[in-house]
Amino acid sequence: MVTKQQIIQAEDTFLSGENFYVQHFLGAHQTKDGYVFRVWAPHAQQVWLVGDFNQWDDSLPLQKRQQSGVWEIETDIPQEGQLYKFKVKQADGRTVLKIDPFAIHFEARPGTAAVLHTVPVKKWRDGLWQGRKKRQKTLNRPLNIYEVHASSWKQHDDGTPYHFSDLKDELIPYVKEMGYTHIQFMPLMEHPLGASWGYQLTGYFALSAYFGTPEEFQDFVEACHLENIGVLVDWVPGHFCVNDDGLAYYDGTPTFEYSEEQRAKNRRWGAINFDLGKPQVQSFLISSALFWIEFFHIDGIRVDAVSNMIYRDMDEGPWEPNHEGGNRNLEGYYFMQKLNAVVKLAHPAVLMIAEESTSETKITGMIEEGALGFDYKWNMGWMNDVLRFYEMDPIFRKDHLSLLSFSFMYRMQENYILPLSHDEVVHGKKSLMNKMWGDRYKQFAQLRNLYTYMMMHPGKKLLFMGSEWGQYLEWKYDHGLEWRDLSDDLNGKMQVFTRTLNQLYKEERALWELDDQESSLAVIDADNLDETTLTFMRQGKTKKDFVLIVLNLTPVERHDFAIGVPYAGTYREILNTEHEQFGGTWIANNADQESEAVPFKQYDHQIKTILPALGALIIKPEKIKLTRKRATPNKQTI
């Protein structure tokens, strides 16, 4: 039984921006005799509870709590499963039907009413996963993310989307077989238009009815954890949907949004920006984040469009500087720090990931040192540079090799995730496979080369669904993936290659064990412009634990190709992207190579091998002598 004092405390902390479980105060809640409904509309003239239980009329007026501007009513008329909204007479006298911002379930589209829905308390069975997650430091563990749009991964024969009960049966086994460590979903919260991909939200506490029920998603996450797969979810705290029945100008005045129209209006995305400095909005958003973490046991949140929240000049049109004369959105900057501080205090092992495209603000790292406190940042610069390079005719690549090697220079500035995401396979950008230069055979060869480069590069990984087998068509949000592609030999072998590469990534500790340390990478040769090759090494904790990576970025096979090695001994090729099982023409890997005492740049020894056209090799030491005389390093250009 909730006491009067508890209600007053919830109200006070909501107003001060310190109520991080405000959904227990606002929204609809069962009582001994029925339901209590509360909604924040401080400047409304009147609010009514309407629904199919009272023919949507004005028979159930709410009473205003003067201190907070919260309206409330307790009634035994509505029943479980019935639809409801709030009818709000706004400050200017206009009457609008509004959603409950704290509803946990809505009716299916195109309807927008909330559903009275009580989710039974779940007895979770993922204790082993949760305990292991708390003990392990993700910076020094493999993190390989499969990005998914839930309603277009697969669809039923009649075109209806899979619910999470379907995805539990099919997506989880597939992700496990493919060797990914985590699934990341594009936004799952309630949104009225599928064409927004979920980034124009209305219900911040509700799984979209388009994907099923809250219970189905809970069961899905639990099933993932039982298979040692983590679940991450996109979340949009910067802006929200403009629809009149949603959060927009809820009581007829700026409520969730900035009071200045210029700052409230998000022209680029046709949305409305949250006022991130308003205490009540901070309570609302942080409560939403914690709700998804705790109610659904998700393992991380990817925060969308961070740049739009921390800078004033990211949108189209005029902007005004802050009181210090700069372009930083101070409200957004401090809100990001507060969000991360609260989440990490409550759940240190939960991953906070920023989608952020600038370099002016430190995104990952300690808040006390001025960073925003995220665990990881999407490396958008890397993604843009790399795709630009692989789309290029190889004849020009020798003059642009730095597009691949430049990221080696700044890799320690942040904790990065390397994303090949949904944004790169829509709007006429073409699929990843179809971006590659040349005929279809060469396109697949280069896609294997690209994925090898990504998986061997320091940082965590993300690949959008369908890219693992080289889907030819762009992604369509309202269609399932082109699974029929897998009947084609090259697509099928591309899928085998991605699965093999994912497994190799998990097995080779040198690829993730020291990801946050400078010593994890050594550039062997970034100067071979004429042959347009790139050679580097990933290092694990022990001297003998390293792998060599060689990329051939032209369609010319290289014989007697020299590779500098740190120790004398025998070296074995463990992956050749041009092997026939992956879609290439090689029937066997190169033979083991014995090093020669011939200097190569900073190394005293080298091996020689055959480097396939448009191919990549991964090589490991087989038997080596762990002593070496360091030669004077030659200066390299990167």
d(CA 305, CA 303): 7
Q: Are 102 and 27 in contact (CB under 8 A)?
A: yes
Closest CA to 362 of 299, 518, 520, 354: 354
Q: Are 602 and 634 in contact (CB under 8 A)?
A: yes
State the catalytic residue, choosing from 222, 257, 304, 356: 304
State the catalytic residue, choosing from 251, 331, 355, 573: 355
Radius of gyration of the chain (CA): 27
**Which residue(s) pair with 620 in the sheet?**
572
d(CA 42, CA 63): 12
d(CA 338, CA 367): 9
- Dihedral sign (CA 167, 172, 177, 183): positive
d(CA 365, CA 88): 44
- Dihedral sign (CA 600, 605, 608, 612): negative
Grouping H, G, I as helix, E, B as strand and the rest as coil, residue 504 is helix
d(CA 40, CA 513): 48
Contacts of 370 by beta carbon, 8 Å cutoff, 6+ apart: 362
Does the annotation count 516 as an active-site position? no
> What helix, strand, coil percent values describe the chain, rounded to 5?
30, 25, 45
Q: Both tokens of residue 131? A: 């305990």
**Which residue(s) pair with 420 in the sheet?**
463
Contacts of 12 by beta carbon, 8 Å cutoff, 6+ apart: none
With vertex at residue 463, the alpha carbon angle to CA 146 and CA 563, rounded to the nearest 5 degrees, is 125
Grouping H, G, I as helix, E, B as strand and the rest as coil, residue 305 is coil
> E strand or H helix at 295, and its extent?
helix 279-295
Q: Are 287 and 23 in contact (CB under 8 A)?
A: yes
Burial class (CB in 10 A: 0-12, 13-18, 19+), 135: exposed
Q: Are 378 and 363 in contact (CB under 8 A)?
A: no
Does the annotation count 355 as an active-site position? yes
- Catalytic positions, written as ranges: 304, 355
